[in-house]
A and B are shown apart, each in its own frame.
Chain A
């Protein structure tokens, strides 16, 4: 009985967010229905999508969100999942065909027609702009920095609306970035970068993340006093909290780039080996 009570305590959202719930459950239903209709992409990709989706859910709609609000390092862990881990897995699973197959038939037909129309080309311009490799890299690192400016961070942790905006911006930018890194469909809306550009982008975002993590680890002042002001989830030395947060921003975040490069390399080798006869069209060496 105690286990059930504990599970219920953990699973009860600290702050129920209808939009987050709708987005995650909607994506899950769409994906399942796509699989059901024959777009089954194989166990590894389904697992990657599922784990990514569960990751988004667990860090925003369970008790973990309480700790993320009242402990700095838990907050850094939350952003690691929102900006790196979960979108990495979702993008890696290349879910677009499955999700499209899952659309209800009433939507599916007009959607396909619309996809071929010129309107989409015009409307997708802002998206293509955001997915320019330089802009995408600057956004990826810039958002990490923006929300870590001490005064901005202070306000974001005080205001429920800003807190929500912060987490939403991290999750959406994470999806944009990793989507660009792992894009496989040359005919899709997302620019299909060369193998070399993808690797360069992954490598370029590492030093600034190491820098901001190191600043937090080696700083001798408490940069984020909002956690002292509002109370911590449990007693922990503020400097220890900040250093743990810095380590979480530094090491796993930079490691995701390394893993990303390895995945790209595997995809590239797979392509070269499997289609040796044909010239690969999607991932060409820059």
Chain B
């Protein structure tokens, strides 16, 4: 490696650390990940793509409906955020809940699950190939607990983060478990009004 490329490394890192004219209370991940794109199965068994949420600020979350801890807490938090947001802002937001447990989560079950959190929650799942491609695209992974195949009550380990895309489908923010409802609501409001 020559001096030029090394300098490049440091400049790139310095820019990453330094940039950001707007301040966010959640994690800013602009430019770190590719635009929103997927092919999955929707709540009626139909094929859905990113055009389903086109023009909306989209929150992407990986989980499964029988999840005992991370999913209900995060989904509950997002439901609280949606209630806190002014209707004009909430209208622009969609939450895409992608189940990485297609064996147990049928489209019908996903519809019941997401409806419980609100009308702007959309459920989706897919084949292992589709789910693998989507999770790899956003550099997350998931795996099944050891009881898979034997019992109905296996656990699924999955990402705990929510990826936020703006209405252009570009990645903007990452919401983590310890982010507060206020912080998330403030950032979503700011993002939709940019």
Contact = CB atoms under 8 A, between A and B. Distances in A.
Contacts of A228: 160
B161 A230 contact: yes
Interface residues of A, number: 33
Nearest to A130: B3
A45 B6 CA distance: 30
B13 A152 contact: yes
B9 A169 contact: yes
Contacts of B27: 154
Given A70-B141, A157-B139, A158-B139, A231 B2 contact: no
Contacts of A169: 1, 6, 9
Given A126-B4, A130-B6, A228-B160, A233 B143 contact: yes
A172 B3 contact: no
Nearest to A147: B13
Contacts of B143: 231, 233-235
B157 A126 contact: no
B73 interface: no
Contacts of B55: none
Residue of A129, A158, A228, A232 with most chain B CB atoms under a 10 A cut-off: A158
B158 A231 contact: yes
A231 B27 CA distance: 17
B9 A165 contact: yes
Contacts of B174: 158, 229
A14 B128 CA distance: 16
B189 to A, nearest CB: 23
Interface in A200-253: 225, 228-235
A229 B13 contact: no
B12 A165 contact: yes
Contacts of A66: 141
Contacts of B31: 159
Interface in B59-99: 62
B13 A158 contact: no
A162 B2 contact: no
B45 interface: no
Contacts of B33: 158-159
Determine the main DSSP class of A at the interface with B: helix
A127 interface: yes
Nearest to A151: B17
Nearest to A146: B13
Nearest to B175: A229
Given A165-B9, A165-B12, A173 B1 contact: yes
B1 A162 contact: no
A230 B140 contact: yes
A195 B120 CA distance: 69
Contacts of B3: 126, 129-130
A176 interface: yes
B29 to A, nearest CB: 6
A232 B12 CA distance: 27
B133 interface: no
A69 interface: yes
A231 B140 contact: yes
B159 interface: yes
B16 interface: yes
B111 interface: no
Contacts of B157: 231-232, 234-235
Interface in B1-53: 1-4, 6, 9, 12-13, 16-17, 27, 29, 31-33
A96 interface: no
A109 interface: no
Q: Which 6 A-B pairs have CB atoms at the shortest separation, nearest pair first?
A: A126-B3, A172-B1, A159-B32, A231-B141, A229-B161, A230-B140
23 contacts: A126-B3, A127-B2, A130-B3, A146-B13, A152-B13, A158-B139, A165-B9, A169-B1, A173-B1, A176-B1, A225-B176, A229-B159, A229-B161, A229-B176, A230-B140, A230-B159, A230-B161, A231-B141, A231-B158, A231-B160, A232-B157, A233-B143, A235-B145
